[in-house]
Amino acid sequence: MPNETNQRPTKPAWRAQTQLVHGGGVRSPHGETSEALYLTSGYVYDSAETAEARFKGTDDGFIYSRYGNPTVGMFEERMVLLEGAEAARATSSGMAAVNAALMCQLKAGDHVVAARALFGSCLYIIDQILPRFGVQVTLVDGADLDQWRRAVRPGTVCAFIETPSNPGLEIIDVRAVADILHAVGAKLIVDNVFATPILQKPLTLGADIVVYSATKHIDGQGRAMGGVVLSDAHFVNDQLVPYLRHTGPSLSPFNAWVLLKGLETLDLRVARHCENATAVAYFLDRQHGVAKVRFPALASHPQHNLARTQMSGPGSVVTFEVDGGKERAFRFLNRLRLARISNNLGDAKSLVTHPATTTHQRLTPEQRAHLGISDRMVRLSVGLEDVEDIKDDLAQALAAA
Ligand SMILES: *Cc1c(COP(=O)(O)O)cnc(C)c1O
């Protein structure tokens, strides 16, 4: 069974939806239909010689679930097939994936570039933690390619972007940024959470490393935390695996099992999320008391054309402003009955958040203003409910606010 190495049985050339249901599955001798859940921390060896061979790496079996686990391995393999990567490692959360993808390749004196518009904790790692270890950081406006050209230099090791970004849904040209980085030998890491592995393939656009919070659409039903890093075999085996093995942010086998079940329906769910979110975006765009509806499928989105070439669908998050400032935004949130106030996203349930006072509270007012995160801004993760019920709920809350 595959473990530390990347030797796998020859993969059948199944199409994506089939891989989501079957990819990476390894049946035990019991022939179970659903993937087996191996809740075990360790493994026993037939002999002292086998134990020695496992530790030497000449025998492929499992050693310890911090290093690898059969259920976690099935999740990693299914993600590899879906993403078109050479290898992957799962982590206990999306942030563990982001942290490992950066830390495993950086040392004091290195230089990192990142887009300013990032998920709060990603920004914290980049602008607070990395500098403490002597890593130099340059933040740029991700959509401005001139800023990227000016920021890179010899010594730039990697860059980190999120596209679409949270919560402003800014789209970054992955291929153009990858080209700028590759010219100085640097790697591009893409946090692909908002696009999901269904709608955008960063590796085929030239990115080197992709990270996910599997907590979002991959689970998609609010149950389990998880993350995953995908890249080429060299990066995964030589840089990522040693870092993960010894620092230990391993994914629980139970959560891996939940995420495997999530992958089986990911394509169906993402399609419905996109359909509902598109209907909601057009609906909000026509409402009185609503301004600046941000959604990649709307022609008014500043990078609408780039979104169309880079993504195969617009995603599940709609960002908009309600007239009247924070008080009215809060009244609107408090009046919603179906969409609930929560900072999670990509969930079957519609969830709404006020970024300025929650996910982006840590930023200074100037930083928020630069990113367009006003007190009037609301972020809506559109769920899988009947879209007419979502629209009714939004309409009544807008009227009542
Ligand atoms: C949620 C999220 C993360 C962090 O993932 P966790 O699973 O919550 O640790 C990172 N990046 C983006 C874009 C996210 O939305």
Decide if pLDDT at 148 tops 90. Answer: yes
Task: Write out pLDDT tens, residues 368-400.
Answer: 999 999 999 999 999 999 999 999 999 999 999
| Residue 4 predicted with pLDDT over 80 | no
346 touches ligand 1 (CB under 6 Å): no
55 and 172 housed in the same domain: yes
Q: Whose CA is nearest to atom 6 of ligand 1?
A: 94
Residue position matching structure tokens 């009037």: 376
For residues 324 and 369, membership in a common domain is answered with: yes
Residue 49 tokens, joined: 């010689």
Q: How far apart are CA 98 and CA 214, in angstroms?
A: 12
What distance in Å separates the CA atoms of residue 7 and residue 68, rounded to the nearest whole number? 14
Q: How much distance in Å is there from the Cα of 30 to the middle of ligand 1?
A: 36
- Regarding whether 387 and 255 lie in a shared domain, the answer is no
SS3 per residue for 158-212:
EEEEECCCCCCCCCCCHHHHHHHHHCCCCEEEEECCCCHHHHCCCCCCCCCEEEE
Is 276:268 a contact under the CB 8 Å cutoff? no
- Which residue owns the Cα nearest ligand 1 atom 5? 94
Banded pLDDT at 2 (limits 50, 70, 90) = very low
- For range 85-113, the mean pLDDT: 98
Question: Taking the mean position of all CA atoms in its chain, how far away is CA 284?
Answer: 26
Both tokens of 310, joined, read: 């880079």
State the distance from the centre of ligand 1 to the C-alpha of 119, rounded, in angstroms: 7
CATH number at 306 reads 3.90.1150.10
Q: Is the CB of 97 under 6 A from ligand 1?
A: no
Apex CA 84: angle with CA 82 and CA 89, to 5°? 75
Matching residue, tokens 């972007």: 161
Indicate if 278 and 198 belong to the same structural domain: no
Tell me, yes or no, whether 3 lies in a domain: no
Answer whether 189's CB lies under 8 Å from 102's CB.
yes
Do both 237 and 301 map to the same domain?
no
Give the angle 161-164-165 at the CA atoms, nearest 5°: 65
Q: Locate the ligand 1 atom nearest the alpha carbon of residue 227 and give its number.
A: 7
Domain match, 196 and 305 both: no
CATH of the domain at 192: 3.40.640.10
Same-domain check for residues 272 and 327: yes
- DSSP 8-state assignment for residue 356: G
Residues 291 and 308 in one domain: yes
Can you tell me the distance from the alpha carbon of 36 to that of 257, in angstroms, rounded to the nearest whole number? 8
- Within a domain: 382: yes
Specify whether 307 is located in the same domain as 248.
Answer: no
Contact 166 CB / ligand 1 (< 6 Å): yes
Domain boundary among 264, 298, 320: 264
Phi, psi values for residue 291, rounded to 5°: -130, 160
> Residue whose CA is closest, atom 11 of ligand 1?
119
Alpha-carbon distance 109 to 233, whole Å? 26
The domain boundary, picked from 264, 292, 310, lies at 264
What total of structural domains would you count in the chain?
2
Out of 210, 242, 264, a domain closes at 264
Residue 268 Cα, ligand 1 centroid: separation in angstroms? 22
Size of the chain, expressed as the number of residues it contains: 401
Q: Is 277 among the domain residues?
A: yes
303 and 223 in a single domain? The answer is no
| Domain membership of residue 390 as a residue range | 267-400
Domain-located, residue 9? no
What pLDDT is recorded for position 3? 42
My answer on whether 90 and 106 are in the same domain is yes
Residues in contact with 13: Cβ distance below 8 Å, sequence separation at least 6, in sequence order: none
Asked if residue 162 has its Cβ within 6 Å of ligand 1, the reply is yes
Judgement on whether residues 178 and 38 belong to the same structural domain of the protein? yes
So what's the pLDDT on residue 93?
98
At residue 7 the predicted structure's pLDDT band, cuts being 50, 70 and 90, is very low
249 lines ligand 1 (CB under 6 A): no
Any long-range contacts for 287-290 (C-beta under 8 Å, 24+ apart)? Answer: 287/394, 287/395, 287/398, 288/398, 289/322, 289/323, 289/324, 289/398, 289/401, 290/320, 290/321, 290/322, 290/323, 290/398
* 6 inside domain: no
63 lies in some domain: yes
Six token digits for residue 392: 């009714």
Helix/strand/coil for 215 = helix
On whether residue 212 sits in a domain, the answer given is yes
Residue 328 lies in a domain: yes
pLDDT tens digits, one per residue of 32-57: 999 999 999 999 999 999 999 999 99
Q: What is the rounded average pLDDT of the residues 138-163?
A: 97
What is the value of pTM for the model shown?
0.95
